[in-house]
A = this chain, B = another copy of it.
Amino acid sequence: MPPAQPGLTLRRVNIELVNTGSELMLGRVLNTHQQWLCRRLADLGYLVTRQVAVPDTAPAIQSAVREALDRANLVIVTGGLGPTSDDLTRDLIAQLLGKKLRLDEAVWHHIQRRFAARNLPMPKNNEVQALVPEGALVLANPNGTAPGLAMEVNEDKRWKMEDSKQTGSPSSILNPPSSRSNRWLIMLPGPPRELRPMFDDQVVPLLRREFPPAGPFVCHTLRTGGLAESLVQEKLGAPLSPLEARGLEVGYCARVGQVDVRLSARGAEAERVVHEAAAIVRQTFGAQIYGFDDEEIELVVVRLLTERRKTLALAESCTGGCIAHRVTNVPGASAVFLGGFVTYSNEAKQKFLGVRPETLAAHGAVSEAVAREMAEGARRGTGADYALAVTGIAGPAGGTQDKPVGTVFLALVGEAGTEVERRRNAYERETFKQLTAQQALEKLRRQLISP
């Protein structure tokens, strides 16, 4: 990324995340909070400068939080607010900041009501979730028992550690946050369905109030399909560079079968700069841009089908249901998706899709002719407007010299006839399935937007 404008860098808020949990350090769970919080904050114009994960032990949590508070204006701590013995965050942070814990009556009533509403007996250990450090704001938790907590931290804080030999770290002298007097510590519960609405509904307003953006911030992502990252960078580098001089930041992110172009800017010109940059990206890649911001290809396809009142059927061999699974992840898919067939065996291809035995015998199951008959059979059988079919070799076994592992035929049939294309997706099994699904959905999208 190019450096931000110097005048704005000084006013930038330093945000650090501290994710607590021994399960994280044992690799038993994936840290999805990091991505979710970083993305939400980035799209609001705030950047996370460091993320740390530590186990559920007193020294690990306290030293991570203390170091983060020495560097950052805002520290967000996740996890460890539950009722069990390894939920230590609330206690340790109150101790670190020298705050007493008191029982919050409103929180306590909320917890009691939740148990009563479910006719469940309440274990005694739930009372600890109603303890609040003095001076902390309570972030209500409509989706669980443990509330979030937000605390303003005094500048002249003397750290109070579990281990009395440890003293304040001098790192604050090395990396002073931009405004020492304005520091916040926010604690959020671990379960994503509790953390996410609490962040959106309660943390974002606090953030906007306590750390108002230096000026407007605009961020827009354009998502391309079927292009290599190096090509996307090469084609956009020169045309975007005058806008980078005017404060545009450009980020590229490559994933399976797609490259995102993220455009952002700050300040009075932000809206215009991002708008002009987006126009250049659109002009450069045209129909290769499949969506914007958080839109996945399956969402775009379901929306296009819905708008055009068209229906879809699927016939999957090598993707094994992956395309149907992605399409049905979109709420409202039932209005446009009539049915899918997962036909691994030749018998199933014949019986349910009407693939002819002589086609299978002459060309093999992985062939242009079979892909075509699968798609046409799925459309005929369901009465859908469009049908997609895929047949290929996911591997690890099954490849031949003519058709190595990764070979796949994609067929699309619609009102205008049938198209088949051959691809080589030489990746391990799960990536192969996801990439093939992405290509198939992209093929349909192109058809749906063609005049």
Residues in chain A within 8 A of chain B (CB atoms): 1, 22-32, 34-42, 47-55, 60, 63-64, 86, 165-166, 169-171, 174-175, 193, 251, 253, 255, 260, 262, 314, 316, 319-325, 327-329, 331, 333-334, 337-345, 347-348, 351-352, 381-383, 394-397, 427-431, 433
Contacts and interface: CB of A to CB of B under 8 A. Distances in A.
Contacts of A429: 329, 331
A383 B171 CA distance: 70
Contacts of A321: 316, 321-325, 327-328, 340, 342
Given A251-B28, A253-B29, A348 B338 contact: yes
Nearest to A56: B1
Nearest to A427: B193
A49 B427 CA distance: 33
Given A29-B255, A328-B342, A50 B60 contact: yes
A397 B331 contact: yes
A150 B40 CA distance: 36
Contacts of A28: 39, 251, 253, 260, 262
B42 A251 contact: no
Contacts of A49: 25, 54-55, 60
Given A25-B49, A32-B30, A329 B338 contact: no
A160 to B, nearest CB: 16
A184 B292 CA distance: 43
B340 A341 contact: yes
Contacts of A50: 52-54, 60, 64
Contacts of A334: 344-345
In the complex, which of the residues A23, A60, A428, A429 has the most CB atoms of chain B within 10 Å of its own CB atom?
A23
Contacts of A347: 338, 382-383
The CB with the most chain B CB atoms within 10 A, among A30, A169, A348, A428, is that of A348
Contacts of A329: 320, 429-430, 433
Nearest to A163: B174
A38 B175 CA distance: 29
6 contacts: A63-B175, A193-B431, A328-B394, A338-B345, A339-B345, A341-B342
Contacts of A396: 331
Contact of A174 (B166, B260, B428): B166
Chain A residues touching B, majority SS:
mixed
A25 B38 contact: yes
A171 B427 CA distance: 44
A193 to B, nearest CB: 7
Q: How many copies does the complex hold?
A: 2
A22 B1 contact: yes
Nearest to A23: B253
A87 B426 CA distance: 26
A175 B63 CA distance: 10
A35 to B, nearest CB: 5
Contacts of A382: 347-348, 351
Nearest to A251: B26
Nearest to A19: B51
Contacts of A430: 329
A251 B85 CA distance: 13
Indicate the member of A327, A334, A430 with the most B CB atoms within 10 Å: A334
Given A27-B35, A262-B28, A171 B169 contact: yes
A314 B324 CA distance: 13
A51 B324 CA distance: 37
Contacts of A381: 351-352
Nearest to A343: B339
Nearest to A165: B174
Contact of A339 (B48, B319, B338, B344): B344
A36 B27 contact: yes
B22 A251 contact: yes
Contacts of A86: 1
Contact of A342 (B314, B319, B433): B314
Contacts of A328: 319-322, 342, 344, 394, 433
Q: Pick from A32, A54, A260, A345 the residue with the most CB of B within 10 Å.
A: A345
Given A24-B51, A30-B35, 14 more contacts: A25-B48, A25-B49, A29-B253, A50-B53, A51-B54, A193-B431, A320-B333, A320-B337, A324-B325, A325-B325, A329-B430, A338-B345, A340-B342, A352-B381
